[in-house]
Amino acid sequence: MKTLRSFLALGLAVAGLGACSEGSQFKVEGSIDGAPDSVLYLHQMAISGPVVVDSVRLGSDGHFCFKAEAPAAPEFYVLRIGDQIINLSVDSTETITVRAQYPGMASRYEVEGSDNCEAIRQLALKQQALHQQAVALEKVFSGQQLADTLERIVEAYKKDVTMNYIYKAPDKASSYFALFQTLGQLPIFNPHASRDDMRVFGAVATSWDTYYPESERTQNLRNITLRSMNEARTVAARQNQTIDTDKIITSGVVDLQLPDTKGNLRSLTELKGKVVLLDFHVFGTKESAARILELRDLYNKYHDRGLEIYQVGLDADEHFWKQQVAALPWISVYDPSGSSLALYNVQAVPEFFTIDRQNQLQKRSSQISDLEAHIKSML
């Protein structure tokens, strides 16, 4: 496993740095002992690769001070001497103080002035320890035994980082940093290969979309999450190209059995005798709020006359989904894999269908010009 000995790539996708201005600057200052006459660089980790912001030749006291324009949203930077780096993040106009020992400054440093930078320091040290553990295991095990052992330690690492860093503060730069950590050249969190990892990405993407909607980094997270969700749905659709005949109910509707917020399975067929609006929905979209208001209006008007809404949530982040549906009066169920989409040949969301009191599937959205009138005709 040569990749385990390679340099731990940061893998961060960030926006470029603008020109300096006097009115809005951040400062990174401090000292690095043991590196006189060395050139210290401050890089921003741009999309196209590291961009040099500034550099200084260190004196005998190791003192340095960099200033640059404060970013509008969290950005990532590194201090570098040779191939040794210290990872930093900048949120606004803060002053970050770094004191390090060279050589080995990547692990021998302290940081003040930024909780995010301190969390990133802890994460970087954990990543280095994981790398060292993996290299040690390579000397003891091989083949499938090595693969299984590595998988166990990586899963333990992910559980620690997810629970103690990402889910505690998904809107922070440290959580974004954690998502792109690597073991060698391999991503630790891979939303394209793991549904659990997809949910972790979704949690951070949702938070960043709330706090930094215009950030290029937010767009990067959103694209990764949506792409992984689409891949998962494509796989599910291929697996369900032939609808299981056991799921075809004699009344004419393909049944769904999905968990609600309490984990109870809710079935479409249990709603026989009611007019049902089957709605496929992603709450993490800009159109969601308006759509929910429209459904609330329909539900409030016609629920007492027999209307029920069975809404399938497709968001990657289950915690976010639970928050969004907590106050909704209708049946809300969860399908992060999107397997239900294949059963109803849904190509894009939002999408909805109507089902009559006999559990007969009536129409899909494209066949309905006036939803309220259509529902009234079935009540």
Query: Where residue 119 falls among pLDDT bands split at 50, 70, 90?
Result: very high
- pLDDT, one tens digit per residue, over 311-357 is 999 988 888 899 999 999 999 999 987 878 877 778 778 899 999 99
Query: How many angstroms from the chain centroid is the CA of residue 5?
Result: 28
Helices in the chain by DSSP H: which ranges?
Answer: 115-140, 143-161, 173-179, 195-211, 216-239, 288-302, 318-325, 339-343, 371-378
pLDDT at site 249: 38
- At 227, is the pLDDT very low, low, confident or very high (cuts 50, 70, 90)? confident
Token pair recorded at residue 259: 């968990």
Q: What is the mean pLDDT of residues 165-169?
A: 91
Mean pLDDT, residues 237-256 taken together: 52
Q: Which two structure tokens, joined as six digits, stand for 169?
A: 């503060």
The torsion angle over the Cα atoms of residues 105, 108, 109 and 110, rounded to 10 degrees, is 170
Contact between 173 and 89 (Cβ < 8 Å): yes
Q: What is the mean pLDDT of residues 154-161?
A: 96
Summarised one tens digit per residue, pLDDT across range 291-323 is: 999 999 999 999 999 999 999 999 888 888 999
DSSP assigned state of 165: I
The set of residues, in sequence order, having a beta carbon less than 8 Å from that of 284 and lying 6+ positions away, is 202, 205, 206, 209, 315, 316, 317, 320
Burial class (CB in 10 A: 0-12, 13-18, 19+), 284: buried
Please report which confidence band the pLDDT of residue 286 belongs to, taking 50, 70 and 90 as the band edges: confident
Structure-model confidence comparison of residues 257 and 33, the more confident one: 33
What integer is the mean pLDDT of 272-284?
Answer: 93
- CA angle in degrees (0–180, nearest 5) for 258-259-261: 145
Residues 64 and 17: beta-carbon distance below 8 Å: no
The lowest-confidence range among 63-67, 182-186, 227-231 is: 227-231
pLDDT (average), residues 2-24: 38
What number is the average pLDDT over the span 279-293? 89
Task: Read off the amino acid at residue 233.
Answer: R
The structure tokens 């000995």 sit at: 5
In percent, how much of the chain has pLDDT > 90? 58
Give the 3-state secondary structure percentages of the chain, helix then strand then coil, rounded to 5: 40, 25, 35
The residue with tokens 């690597």 is 182
Q: Residue 2: its pLDDT value, please?
A: 39
pLDDT surpasses 80 at 376: yes
pLDDT at 14 over 80: no
pLDDT score recorded for residue 237: 57
* Residue of 348 and 258 predicted with greater confidence: 258
> Out of 251-255, 266-270, 338-342, 369-373, which region has the weakest mean confidence (pLDDT)?
251-255
What mean pLDDT, rounded, does the chain reach?
86
Q: How far is CA 28 from CA 3, 45, 88, 103, 111, in A?
A: 32, 15, 9, 20, 10
- Quick one: pLDDT band at residue 236, thresholds 50, 70, 90? low
- What was the pLDDT predicted at 1? 41
**Which amino acid, residue 286?**
K
Other CB atoms within 10 Å distance of the CB of residue 356: 19
Q: How far apart are CA 210 and CA 207, in angstroms?
A: 5
Cβ count near 226 (within 10 Å): 17
Write b or e for each residue in 200-213: b if 16 or more Cβ atoms lie within 10 A of its Cβ, otherwise e.
bbbbbbbbbbeebe
The amino acid at residue 31 is S
Give the pLDDT band of residue 15 (cuts 50, 70, 90): very low
